[in-house]
Amino acid sequence: MKKIIIAIDGYSSTGKSTLAKALGEALGYRYISTGDMYRAVALYFLQHGIALTDEEAIRKALSDIELRFYRTPQGNRLHLNGRDVQDDLRRMDVADLVSQVAAIPAVRREMVRQQRLMGQEKSLVMDGRDIGTVVFPEAELKIFLTASPEARARRRYEELKAKGVEVTLDEVRRNIEQRDRIDTTRADSPLRMAEDAVLIDNTHLSPEQQLDCALELARQRIEDC
Ligand code: DC
């Protein structure tokens, strides 16, 4: 059977990672949430006090950072220099910094290089902001996810609360608005929908309905190729 690359892009908190994981499991494909990679870099910058204006420190940090995804029955766990940091990636201090870190061209260059290596064998579902436009412009299937800002804020708020994170709905909403603004207006690879992407608005879709829709698209593309 033909192997393909599936690119899922879209705004913050639209459920891209949830869909990537479900699609990957249904198709027997690997799935990678590239937002976690940018979050791990932001975490490293926080831990090491790296200033976003210090080009030399950023260059050194990027050569010191090793990122590896490990598959577990509960999903992927990202290790940063040998330490499992998956549970730290949703922290609010990381969320507040990550869009600025992801706007730095040197950071993007290195993440995109690593992401393309992961796609060499295809059979991959990758989610992020620039997967269909920059990382894999030749991806056989591109999905662009969107949902109303209110639905997105509420979902992320519920997710954080379930993890015991102390946060208000208003803080989550402001963080999402701020990230949308930075992600769509940055000079390097701003978030935009690829011309050949399929738009899915999941404001009123259950995760199962969304998965059915995406699986149908994936199976069509696998047959067409
Ligand atoms: O998907 P996420 O919310 O975990 O992403 C975290 C941040 O990383 C988000 O603000 C934008 C950035 N990002 C990016 O610029 N490019 C990607 N491919 C993935 C994420």
Where do the structural domains in the chain lie, given as residue ranges?
5-224
pLDDT 10s digit of each residue in the chain, 225 long? 899 999 999 999 999 999 999 999 999 999 999 999 999 999 999 999 999 999 999 999 999 999 999 999 889 999 999 999 999 999 999 999 999 999 999 999 999 999 999 999 999 999 999 999 999 999 999 999 999 999 999 999 999 999 899 999 999 999 999 999 999 999 999 999 999 999 999 999 999 999 999 999 999 999 987
Residues 32-46 as b or e (16 or more Cβ within 10 Å = b): bbbbbbbbbbbbbbb
Sequence-ordered list of residues with C-beta below 8 angstroms from that of 148, at least 6 positions apart, any chain: 203
Query: The pTM is what?
Result: 0.94
- Nearest atom of ligand 1 to the alpha carbon of 115: 18
Beta strands in the chain (DSSP E): 5-10, 30-33, 67-72, 75-80, 83-84, 124-128, 141-146, 198-201
User: For tokens 């436009």, what's the residue?
Assistant: 133
Residue whose CA is closest, atom 8 of ligand 1?
Answer: 35
* 122 CB-contact burial (10 Å; exposed 0-12 / middle 13-18 / buried 19+): middle
Residue 67 CB neighbour total at 10 angstroms: 17
> Residue 137: its pLDDT value, please?
98
d(CA 107, CA 132): 18
Q: How many angstroms is it from 129 CA to the middle of ligand 1? A: 6
Whether the Cβ atoms of residue 176 and residue 13 lie closer than 8 Å to each other:
yes
Query: Which has the closest alpha carbon to 76: 113, 52, 40?
Result: 40
Q: Which of 13, 38, 93, when mutated, tests ligand 1's pocket best, judged by the most ligand atoms within 8 Å of its CB? A: 38
CATH 3.40.50.300: does it fit domain 5-224?
yes
Sequence-ordered list of residues with C-beta below 8 angstroms from that of 47, at least 6 positions apart, any chain: none
> Residue 224: its pLDDT value, please?
87
Residue type, position 125, single letter: V
Whether the Cβ atoms of residue 98 and residue 160 lie closer than 8 Å to each other:
no
Sequence-ordered list of residues with C-beta below 8 angstroms from that of 174, at least 6 positions apart, any chain: none
The two tokens of residue 172 are 């989550």
* Residues lining ligand 1, Cβ inside 6 A: 12, 34-35, 38-39, 98-99, 102, 128-131, 179, 183
